[in-house]
Structure 1
């Protein structure tokens, strides 16, 4: 794979052996540059397969605010501000990351013998599955919210429904777990598979998947609105088809997971994992280690 890139490090007939700078970076590359390019190219399918998951996660940052504005947000005499609802998944992540690191990883390590608990690509795959589950749960919660509005004859009412906003916590917990598995898995995967010259770039690559996912989220909404005839076109969420939208995203997430499995099966690790590296604190670590 990518063997055609080797030609960029070969002198042509009309070139003389000299330094790369003498020939220019666009006419002759070093072997290390070629190998680093190969690494990035091999990682691209993995990156692309995680973009849609982040697109799904971006929906929770917008539609959950609209949902919360129609629900009961009071805790005794305190009312939770609707725009602050997207902070809840971040709070769950603050709690779940130590649980993952201190409980899940040691337990998984006993069964697998892998320092990181499970393989990095497996970790990303778990996040993909949890993403699909979170969208399905969101669809069920939204269906229940709409049924409550119909039952109490409040479809066009501006008053909060007799349904607690904490119903949204179910999808928030699962989506927080999905982001922990996928984002941490991506960081460790790219960091372990890259060369020392690409360590810092590998972190940026991990975040690029998140950035592209959020960037395309609005495009997805516009396309689905146009194709479906306006599932999300009404200002009244009780008359929209947000539950259908969530079910559609859950189904596409399953298909995306199949695409990810295909990409992961094609990928060949550089080395077996010998030790676990921390991509955040071990920037100067040498040697490529993974599973």
Structure 2
């Protein structure tokens, strides 16, 4: 254990560039700062992202369809850019510097949007579209914020996990659970306090509070620099992957045994036997090392798991689009209070916030009671992801049944309570905590040491691709259904659409995707 700790900390530095001291640097205290920062950062991101559509409609006077697409594109781009942020954090800067740079960029974008929301001269006149200059300011602020979010979400969880002893996998698992707890807590504040502020005090106050909260998050994170430990960037992982693949292709006709003999001669340890043909990259190329080959094989092995989670995120995209439209035409009254549709996300967030402490307590109690030093097999990330994918399919089945009932009742002049949507919100919330939480831990723990930010970013990239593919599925389903009579989702009246059939399609696709995931998970 002492040797493992010495080796691990030998790769890490303190803020002076000297070898990190495990008694002074890193540990639970340092990783806890990351969780606090995530509460504030995710509150800012979600409170703006979930309500941008109202700002685009009421202040910038964009049409409803264009406003919805702008929000979807913003969300998708933010999560997609986590790959860029992860690449930069692994290649050029430490994860600490990467967070500082991208969080500052997010803050600048938010400040620009705040200035525009404050100044009527930067907004279009009533019933007028924005001018070119007004659009330029809007898009500059919007996508500066999106780029900042991408870098922050790639660097922050990897930096937090870097502070912990990697020989204690249970500690890493607990960190990602509490990191997800922080993410949900920020979402809860966004869905309650911030939505109330936006609806009662206006967008100006919402933007101002977001600027202050993100500034505080940046200060809190920066103040922890003396106790953090830092991993030096390892150069471009994409360059190393390309080099291995190019060399393996050149040597595709060479003997595999010759390449594997070279691995044994150099005393390199192989992690697994997948992609054995890549070992041919070692033949006749002194620039390729066995370690680089293993890094490439490991990263490629993560991709089927990543691809198998995209369809679940198509379901999550519905919570910000069609579920909101459903809620707007349902009975949202609770005594004398009218529930904002966006606040329906409170249901799954409350379930997640209660589930994570109970989960951690149960694991600790079970380990102590049975004297188990390691992580429990039943809670391994791959199993959690699989359960999450199963719940996604179930949630779409429930959503289809509820929408069919709502449509029938609406045609009989009966308005269902918005609480009927709570079932799909709760099921998708549990699906999200199991899938995203499991993905963050799995991709970080399994990734090559020099690719951890980029690999962790795959979790967020899956979310991004889910949003984009959701739009494609809507277009395709309308195109196909239009050839057989009437499009499923057409016009502005859900009572004359067949959203229930679209939900049924998502249920079937997610069930097929679950079978695909099981195939790849068993082979991993």
Q: Specify the TM-score bucket, using the shorter chain as the normaliser.
A: 0.7 to 0.9
What is the aligned-residue RMSD (CA, Å)?
A: 2.3
> Which blocks of at least 5 consecutive residues in structure 2 are unaligned?
1-273
What is the TM-score with the length of structure 2 in the denominator? 0.44
| Displacement of 1:78 | 1.7
| Displacement of 1:60 | 1.9
- 1:115 maps to 2:372: no
Superposed CA offset, 1:216-258 (max 9, x none): 1111111111111210013110111011111111111111111
Runs of 4+ in structure 1 over 4 Å off: 104-111
CA contact (8 A) 1:64 1:86 kept: no
Count of residues paired in the alignment: 244
Instruction: Quickly say closer, same or farther: Cα 1:170–1:109, change in 2 above 3 A.
Output: farther
Question: Which residue, out of 435, 441, 448, partners 1:195?
Answer: 448
Give the 5 Å matches for 1:2-17. Answer: 2-12=275-285
Superposed CA offset, 1:42-67 (max 9, x none): 11111111111111211121111110
User: Paired residue for 2:458?
Assistant: 205
Secondary structure, counterpart of 1:232 in structure 2:
coil
User: Paired residue for 1:234?
Assistant: 491
What is the TM-score with the length of structure 1 in the denominator? 0.76
For the pair shown, the structure with the greater C-alpha radius of gyration is 2
Secondary structure, counterpart of 1:36 in structure 2:
helix
Question: Which residue, out of 291, 295, 308, partners 1:32?
Answer: 291
Q: Distance in 2 between matches of 1:131 and 1:202?
A: 23
> Which blocks of at least 5 consecutive residues in structure 1 are unaligned?
18-27, 155-160, 268-291
Q: Distance in 1 between matches of 2:359 and 2:403?
A: 29
Question: Which residue, out of 251, 257, 262, partners 2:514?
Answer: 257
User: Paired residue for 1:218?
Assistant: 471
| Displacement of 1:212 | 1.2
Q: Distance in 2 between matches of 1:54 and 1:110?
A: 37
Instruction: Quickly say closer, same or farther: Cα 1:101–1:144, change in 2 above 3 A.
Output: farther
Q: Distance in 2 between matches of 1:144 and 1:72?
A: 14
Secondary structure, counterpart of 1:235 in structure 2:
coil
Which structure carries more helix by proportion?
2
User: Paired residue for 1:280?
Assistant: none
Secondary structure, counterpart of 1:231 in structure 2:
coil
Give the 5 Å matches for 1:1-291. Answer: 1-12=274-285, 28-86=287-345, 88-103=347-362, 115-116=375-376, 117-152=378-413, 161=415, 163-229=416-482, 230-267=487-524
Secondary structure, counterpart of 1:115 in structure 2:
coil
Q: Return 135-144 or 183-192, whichever deviates more.
A: 183-192
| Displacement of 1:146 | 1.1
